[in-house]
Amino acid sequence: MLAKTLSALLLSTFLFTAALAAEPAKTAGPSAAVSTPSAPVSSPAMAAPAAPTAGPVTAAPAPAPTKVKPNRAITITMFMAIIAVTLGVVIWAAKRTTSAADFYAAGGGITGLQNGWAIAGDYMSAASFLGMSGLISLYGIDGFMYAVGPMFSFIAILLVVAEPCRNAGKFTLGDILSFRAAPKTVRGVAALSTVTVSLFYLIAQMVGAGKLMQVLLDIPYRVSVIGVGVLMVGYVVFGGMKATTWVQIIKAGLLMTGTVLLAFLVMAKAGMNPIGFFNDIVNSQLVQDHVRMNVLKDVVAKPGFDYGQRFMEPGLFLKNPLDQISLGIAWALGAAGLPHILMRFFTVPSAKEARKSIVVALFINSSFFFLINLIGFGAALYLTPQLISSVDKGGNMATLLLAQKLGGGAGSFGGDVFLAFICAVAFATILAVVSGLVLAASAAIAHDVYVNIIMGGNADQQTQVRVARVTSLFVGIAAIIMGLAAEKENVVALVALAFAVAASGNFPAVMLSLFWKRFNTAGVVGALVVGTVSALSLVMISPVMTYPQKIADDAKKVITTLEKKQAEGAVLVEKDLKALDKARADFQKNDGGTSMVGLKAPIFPLKNPAIVSLPLGLLAAILGTLLFRDRRAEEMFDEIEVRQITGLGISKASDH
């Protein structure tokens, strides 16, 4: 019966997508910036590209369209191939998912190698694949800092968290934190934190999927979000962790294949000469013009100032050094507190395999993020920042445009196939990440809240699996509804919030629970509540939120400049007339507007709050522990320490 249900889902999805493929493409609308919301940053509005000034001019690339235009038939065929393979995996996994351990942790039967690829697939999101390369193409080294940051987070996980978490827990974050603390209180707070992180991250991925399909294939936003949501729910409800794991492995393999191939083509075009490659970037007149006019806003070039070299120095995007430090804190510690990453340690049979999985994931992720840098800098050189920002002001289409160009150009068979493949990889990336997030959120609700709080741990296996599947269904439906409602929101803030909450609340709670003898219930609750609330509050008043009044003020400057030009007798060219019309519309629409929390301008100056929220969460954990001492928690520390080292109580002791 289950196989028939999944087969019907596959057939209906095929017919639905085929119908979309048969529709004639809609007339392309304005190529206004549609930033993939899962990107890690929100880019400021770019000025219209100016004509190159006099000076050494490198060969300009051939003109390209101002919109990514993949071959609809080829792209949807590749999408369908990925959907068919992954749904086949779900059917296979569903027959082997009979217990709660199967649903939440694949029965502990995933090898370290498989789990390493799955962790990599869970962690490498569309933000990494599309957002970071675009950021590098527009802001140079600042984007590079975003790309290398995730590597350090896996070092923290490898050295500190992986083995103890696998040995001390069972399925969820609540299992780890509640061992020495008041179980119901801690599980409730941990579940709330898990759902908060997962949903914010999940909404960003859902909106990212909707925007990606809308921009690439002219599929309506709502149809895209619902379609991705249906697939996501099917993966998790029927297949559980086993299906999710293999979807993530497939996605990671596709992503690495596309990334390696694209990076190889970039370096091949540069003659496999990295020194010459970066020299060409620094000497590119178009890169220099972009830095001067669009980033630094220097209308007149400063004598003797090397704008090309400035592209290779930090501070073009993260102008405040504290922002760089705060970003580093969130990257380095945030992943160690992400619930859907922590869950992966429970899928392996031993602590040895847990360590192995992190080593594998670290190697894959390090390779991926290194290659993303080559792709981003290659896009800056071979596409130019002006072209990239004209298609999408956040730079999120840079990878797709570069794939099309290096494959042979727009309209060529090679260009269409390579672009379709990269688009399909981005689609698979979103599917894999959202599946892991739904599973983490549903596990927190079903396992922590229902089974352990409401039922007091007294629920048979069949009931646990049924509740888990029902919970996954409702989490998926909630994600679809919130994704539809968040279409026009700046969901970049949600991703920043997810990492900030994980670093500020979850990470201190996990670390202290595993390694501080006196740590207790008050400490756990203090870390989770204060870390979560402070991160949430600071993000809501930070520059990553959308401030309509700032948009209006920027538009007013454009209006004033161009109207003054007209008053002096100059005739505006078509480009300036369009800019003036757009500025007037933006001013009228946004003047007097406020952000989601009623602000006209940010109060907190940093884009990432971790430098403030992490110390607050840690301080709350320490104060709560010292003020409300718990003898039972201290007495049970020896037991959890033994379990961390040996794995007793979870599985057979590992060889050390």
Q: Spell out the domain ranges in the chain.
A: 71-487
Q: Residue 2 — pLDDT band, cuts 50, 70, 90?
A: very low
Q: Residue 622 — pLDDT band, cuts 50, 70, 90?
A: very high
> Contact, 36 vs 127, CB < 8 A?
yes
Nearest-angstrom CA–CA distance, 415 and 485 = 35
pLDDT tens, residue by residue, 530-553: 999 999 899 889 887 878 888 888
Q: Residue 582 — pLDDT band, cuts 50, 70, 90?
A: confident
CATH code for the domain defined by 71-487: 1.20.1730.10
Nearest-angstrom CA–CA distance, 543 and 605 = 7
Sign of CA dihedral 579, 582, 584, 589: negative
pLDDT tens, residue by residue, 114-136: 999 998 888 787 767 887 888 89
Cα 491–Cα 215–Cα 371 angle in degrees, nearest 5: 75
> Contact, 37 vs 491, CB < 8 A?
yes
The answer on pLDDT for 55 being more than 70 is no
Q: Residue 256 — pLDDT band, cuts 50, 70, 90?
A: very high
pLDDT tens, residue by residue, 164-196: 777 776 788 888 888 888 889 999 999 998 888
Give pLDDT, residue 378. 95
> Contact, 433 vs 209, CB < 8 A?
no
Region 411-430: mean pLDDT is 87
Region 76-82: mean pLDDT is 88
pLDDT tens, residue by residue, 360-382: 988 898 899 889 999 999 999 99
pLDDT greater at residue 591 or residue 596: 591
The length of the chain is: 656
Nearest-angstrom CA–CA distance, 415 and 516 = 56
